[in-house]
Amino acid sequence: MYPMKHIDNIPSTPGKFKMEKPPYNRLRIHISLAKLTFWSFVFLGLIFVFFYRSPAASSSSPVSSDLSRRSLRTNSYGGPAWEKRIKASAKVRSRNGISVLVTGAAGFVGTHVSVALKRRGDGVLGLDNFNDYYDPSLKRARQALLERTGVYVVEGDINDATLLKKLFDIVQFSHVMHLAAQAGVRYAMENPGSYVHSNIAGLVNLLEICKSVNPQPAIVWASSSSVYGLNSKVPFSEKDRTDQPASLYAATKKAGEEIAHTYNHIYGLSLTGLRFFTVYGPWGRPDMAYFFFTRDILKGKSIPIFEAANHGTVARDFTYIDDIVKGCLAALDTAEKSTGSGGKKKGPAQLRVFNLGNTSPVPVSDLVSILERLLKVKAKRLVMKLPRNGDVQFTHANISSAHKELGYKPTTDLQTGLKKFVRWYINYYGNGKKSVQ
């Protein structure tokens, strides 16, 4: 270190001495620079540590979303070109057509519903956050399909109120088809927070926007057969009890139904919840059993087939996607207008809930037999006791209410539907190479 007197010798006023820059002054500058560099590194290090261990990535709260697994970023949006695309996509092209915001448009049901609406001349705008709960490349392929049909999908999350408001500023949607959700029964044990984020917080955010816009849209949204939980009265009727959910997923869907009641009651929103029963088909979800059974049978991998206590049969009321699409469109077409305006209810509004199932449950072991025949490969069956993972033993829909009110009548049996799925699967994933239809 340099003695203090050197520093004391530096003239306090500007003058020639300063111009000369004595060696001790240069050294002082070097020391200052070294200190500055050192503290800058310390500071940057702290920032790095802070962000690396941010709550989203490492929260210890049991219900915090494990968003590190999911891409929830909202892309930059705005600008005249963006608005033009939105308007073009949402433009109604048929007489008496409706304009629909489809959330979860790049999802399995969302894609099929969006295409069907667009093809009959309705205005359709998609919204999807493209999260990575399952392979996002499949969602991108569905998006490409939608674009070819004329449906633009805005990339964003239903929790983004600013984005939702903006979309309603650009288009006066008459209807919202709300299909964005965290799906899957078993994944709820792994990432409970993602269910709260999408199925509760996201739903409330969407309804908050819908109640405050003018005119308010009518909303049709996806509930689930899982709300019947431990109900053992078959077939499941909308009048049966739904207060014994067997999974957090089911509980969030049931909560959604209660939230819908509230927004209908206070704000006059027209709301229709559809309880889907294990929907399957082309462009389906890879996390569902029929999908990964197909993949693993083809790979020669063993597949776990659940059975209940005492070799009890586990069965599902598998419902083909085209039947579900017809139910969704009929629900939109019969939805009455919301009655509120300026965030205030002006009169009673429609509140409905319907089962959309196939009314013929099939044991999971029979599903596997059908796949074996279609794939011409023998499955390596690994029969195991139904784990305590949220799965229920069976589902079976009573669809008389949907039949009466919506004209809903499923026409595809599991054999026929799986044949179409397998054809799509081989075409899409065949020979290990991906080929989009």
Ligand X SMILES: O=C(O)[C@H]1O[C@H](OP(=O)(O)OP(=O)(O)OC[C@H]2O[C@@H](n3ccc(=O)[nH]c3=O)[C@H](O)[C@@H]2O)[C@H](O)[C@@H](O)[C@@H]1O
Q: Which residues bind ligand X (CB under 6 A)?
A: 183-185, 224-226, 276-278, 288-289, 304-306, 314, 316, 364, 391
E strand intervals along 113-235: 123-128, 152-155, 175-178, 218-224
CB of 306 to ligand X, least distance (A): 4
Give me the least distance between CB of 288 and ligand X, in Å please.
3
Token look-up 């959604």 returns: 256
Which is the catalytic residue, given 187, 195, 249, 320?
A: 249
Which residue type is seen at 111? T
By the 8 A CB rule, do 125 and 100 touch? yes
191: tokens are: 């990432």
Distance of closest approach, residue 87 Cβ to ligand X, in angstroms: 33
H helices present in 335-399, as ranges = 364-375
- Give me the least distance between CB of 387 and ligand X, in Å please: 9
CA distance 160 to 172: 18
Cβ-based nearer residue to ligand X, 121 or 286: 286
Please give the biggest Cα pair distance in the chain: 100
* Nearer to ligand X (CB atom), residue 216 or residue 272: 272
Query: Using CA atoms, how far apart are residues 133 and 175, in angstroms rounded to an integer?
Result: 27
CA–CA separation, 190 vs 184, rounded Å? 11
* Distances, alpha carbon 31 to alpha carbons 6, 27, 327, in Å: 14, 6, 75
DSSP 301-347: -EEEEEEBGGGBPPEE--EEHHHHHHHHHHHHHHPPPP--BTTB--S
Dist. CA 389–CA 406, nearest whole Å: 34
In the complex, minimum distance from the CB of residue 113 to ligand X, in angstroms, rounded to a whole number: 16
Beta bridge partners of 354: 274
The minimum distance between CB 165 and ligand X, in angstroms, equals 29
Is 249 labeled as catalytic in the residue annotation? yes
Measured CA angle at 375 (ends 370, 376), to 5 deg: 95
CB-nearest residue to ligand X: 224
DSSP conformation class of 397: B
Q: Which DSSP symbol is given to 379?
A: -
For CA atoms 287, 220, 180, 135, the dihedral sign is: positive
Unique residue bearing structure tokens 């207060």: 243
Pairing of strands 380-385, 319-320: unpaired
CB of residue 188 vs ligand X: minimum separation in angstroms?
10
Q: Which residues are catalytic?
A: 249
